[in-house]
Chain A
């Protein structure tokens, strides 16, 4: 029987002889992830399950990232619990100053290989589809079950095939591709589905761009967003891991629930208006809106690619006096690379705040909370009411190009108007 890429990965991780969308099957996980928010709740559930040990310490990763560095006593207690539990169980643990944002860390440190199944106590576990893996976000009790058994129950998703053609125009990035998808199918359009990205336009994307795309699959309600592994994946993994893997693809005659076509030749920079990642408009229609804070960071768009784009815009320019800019490299590795490339100096000279890698203000936790009446533009993935602070603040979502341009002008601006039409 013909199968989609997602079905093939799941078939490799179950004893079920065959499967089709809607079947509920037990799936083995290759890697289980949790953080300082989801981890401690999962540990409590694991105790109630009567599980004294994890299924395989080498397949468990804990990352302190949400309230890191601890913003108050309660957060410090959670991180202490995470630290002590991790040491006690002998699992991989990335403490303060060691890792960064979980999804950046796992990809950059070689934990993720094509064809793997990764369950994470965080909805953006779908980011691992950038490397051709099935990553999916679960709640804490689910994660406790994964820690104890090494498996979870999964309703087999259907697949929406996103066929991407053409070449990106200047100032267009992975963020714009996924915003285009969200604008078309909406925030529930991917429920019980996987988004699979194929075609020459998808194959030409760097892993950083693929991360930006896969990361927001969950914003469509999808289980995961997957790019079949290819040459670019192979190159990315070289030097990060020497574990073997093989590339899987959907069969040509596999059944897809839906097909979407995106032509990069006509795609322009996009912006998601508050309060939904699905409220997507072309940048021209919102140009001129006043911005009080620019946030460049998060697990989707805090990569070295994003920081280079921001630096291209901010080099020899200043953050507008009416706005503030916060730049958060997504991992220690990216932080160091930005330092070596002189990007941090560009940001500091421009008058931006550069922070240690953390989730921070992305989820309204700390370090960059918005006041009532303020508007922010962020390279993050959610602009829900109250997401970055006050429930009377607005959050616009866009690429690092667009966010950095707003930092210079103090309002939503086409980056071509700052850097010049010809592109960087």
Chain B
């Protein structure tokens, strides 16, 4: 599974989901509207840097705090194809995987990336390339890779429900 795109870098560590998507906008449930408020409490001008193929590059413990899925939903709606970070907060990481948005840990690749760097992620092989230089990442657990490959938790649950229905017949 390969994802390519241009880097948009957020340098700071411990970026929480409140600043990524502030509370007042939680009464929105349409990702196409959510994306208008992504990064609102951090730096709204970051939105202008997002293209159709963006890899968001982040620091340590990215996405801590609230479980609001509005953050990865707005990211997907904005064209972000993967998040590459030094480390992720747990609920944010889960939310990304469940939405089929790869969240990849690779500190060396993060250190090498600058805004606009060409990034290529091979999640299955555990490899990240930044401007042609290659870095190894821990391979994601097979369950997580399957989840991302299968298009996320919606499809996974669909399959599980179908299996249950078949076994009951």
Q: Is the CB of B94 within 8 A of A386?
A: no
Q: Is the CB of B24 within 8 A of A141?
A: no
User: Which A residues lie within 8 Å of B91 (CB)?
Assistant: 123, 137-139, 218
Q: Is the CB of B98 within 8 A of A139?
A: yes
The chain B residues found within 8 Å of chain A, CB to CB, are 14, 16, 18-19, 22-24, 26-29, 41, 60-61, 64-70, 72-73, 87, 89-91, 94-95, 98-99, 141, 143-144, 147, 152-154, 156-158, 160-161
User: Which B residues lie within 8 Å of A387 (CB)?
Assistant: 18, 23
Instruction: Pick the residue among B66, B89, B98, B141 that contacts A363 (CB under 8 A).
Output: B66
* Separation of A386 and B61 alpha carbons in the complex (Å): 19
For the complex, is A74 an interface residue (Cβ under 8 Å from B)?
yes
Q: Is the CB of B61 within 8 A of A141?
A: no
Q: Is the CB of B161 within 8 A of A141?
A: no
Within 8 A of B (CB), among A120-144: 121-123, 137-142, 144
Q: 7 closest A-B pairs (Cβ-Cβ)?
A: A139-B69, A139-B95, A188-B61, A364-B23, A363-B23, A384-B18, A123-B67
For the complex, is A37 an interface residue (Cβ under 8 Å from B)?
yes
For the complex, is A97 an interface residue (Cβ under 8 Å from B)?
no
For the complex, is A418 an interface residue (Cβ under 8 Å from B)?
no
Q: Is the CB of B26 within 8 A of A365?
A: yes
* Separation of A223 and B67 alpha carbons in the complex (Å): 12
Q: Is the CB of A384 within 8 A of B19?
A: yes
Q: Is the CB of A221 within 8 A of B61?
A: yes
Q: Which residue of A lies closest to B152 (CB)?
A: A141
Q: Is the CB of B64 within 8 A of A148?
A: no
Q: Is the CB of B68 within 8 A of A37?
A: yes
User: Which A residues lie within 8 Å of B29 (CB)?
Assistant: 40-41, 44, 78
Contact with B along A63-74 (1 / 0, CB 8 A): 000110001101
* Separation of A147 and B14 alpha carbons in the complex (Å): 31
Segment among A5-13, A47-55, A292-300 that sits at the interface with chain B: A47-55
User: Which A residues lie within 8 Å of B154 (CB)?
Assistant: 45, 48-49, 141, 144
User: Which A residues lie within 8 Å of B73 (CB)?
Assistant: 41
Q: Is the CB of A51 within 8 A of B67?
A: no
User: Which B residues lie within 8 Å of A66 (CB)?
Assistant: 26
Q: Is the CB of B19 within 8 A of A139?
A: no
Give the shortest distance, in Å, between A380 (CB) and chain B (any CB): 12
Within 8 A of B (CB), among A56-85: 66-67, 71-72, 74-75, 78
* Separation of A384 and B90 alpha carbons in the complex (Å): 18
Q: Is the CB of A122 within 8 A of B67?
A: yes
Q: Is the CB of A142 within 8 A of B153?
A: yes
Chain A residues within 8 Å of chain B by Cβ, number? 51
Q: Is the CB of A191 within 8 A of B87?
A: yes
A sample of 14 more A-B contacts (CB under 8 A), given A188-B89, A221-B61, is: A37-B26, A40-B29, A41-B29, A41-B69, A123-B65, A123-B66, A139-B67, A139-B72, A139-B91, A148-B161, A188-B60, A191-B89, A363-B23, A384-B41
* Separation of A75 and B25 alpha carbons in the complex (Å): 10
Can you list 23 pairs linking A and B with CB atoms under 8 Å apart? Answer: A37-B26, A41-B73, A49-B158, A66-B26, A67-B26, A71-B27, A121-B67, A123-B65, A137-B67, A139-B67, A139-B72, A139-B94, A142-B153, A149-B157, A155-B141, A187-B61, A219-B65, A364-B22, A364-B24, A382-B66, A384-B65, A386-B18, A391-B41
Q: Is the CB of B23 within 8 A of A188?
A: no
User: Which A residues lie within 8 Å of B99 (CB)?
Assistant: 141
Q: Is the CB of B18 within 8 A of A223?
A: no
Instruction: Pick the residue among B14, B27, B41 that contacts A75 (CB under 8 A).
Output: B27
User: Which B residues lie within 8 Å of A123 (CB)?
Assistant: 65-67, 91
Q: Is the CB of B69 within 8 A of A141?
A: yes
Contact with B along A200-238 (1 / 0, CB 8 A): 000000000000000000110101000000000000000
Q: Is the CB of A24 within 8 A of B144?
A: yes
User: Which B residues lie within 8 Å of A45 (CB)?
Assistant: 153-154
Q: Which residue of B lies closest to A386 (CB)?
A: B41
Instruction: Pick the residue among A121, A145, A382 that contacts B153 (CB under 8 A).
Output: A145
Give the shortest distance, in Å, between A280 (CB) and chain B (any CB): 15
User: Which A residues lie within 8 Å of B95 (CB)?
Assistant: 139, 141-142
Q: Is the CB of B14 within 8 A of A276?
A: yes
Q: Which residue of A lies closest to B66 (CB)?
A: A123
* Separation of A138 and B97 alpha carbons in the complex (Å): 12
* Separation of A341 and B144 alpha carbons in the complex (Å): 52
Contact A149:B67 (CB < 8 A) given known A142-B95, A188-B61, A384-B18:
no
* Separation of A40 and B29 alpha carbons in the complex (Å): 7
Q: Is the CB of B66 within 8 A of A149?
A: no
Q: Is the CB of A191 within 8 A of B161?
A: no
Q: Is the CB of B157 within 8 A of A144?
A: yes
Give the shortest distance, in Å, between B4 (CB) and chain A (any CB): 25
User: Which A residues lie within 8 Å of B24 (CB)?
Assistant: 364-365
* Separation of A38 and B70 alpha carbons in the complex (Å): 9
For the complex, is A385 an interface residue (Cβ under 8 Å from B)?
yes
* Separation of A191 and B64 alpha carbons in the complex (Å): 10
Give the shortest distance, in Å, between B40 (CB) and chain A (any CB): 8
For the complex, is A153 an interface residue (Cβ under 8 Å from B)?
yes
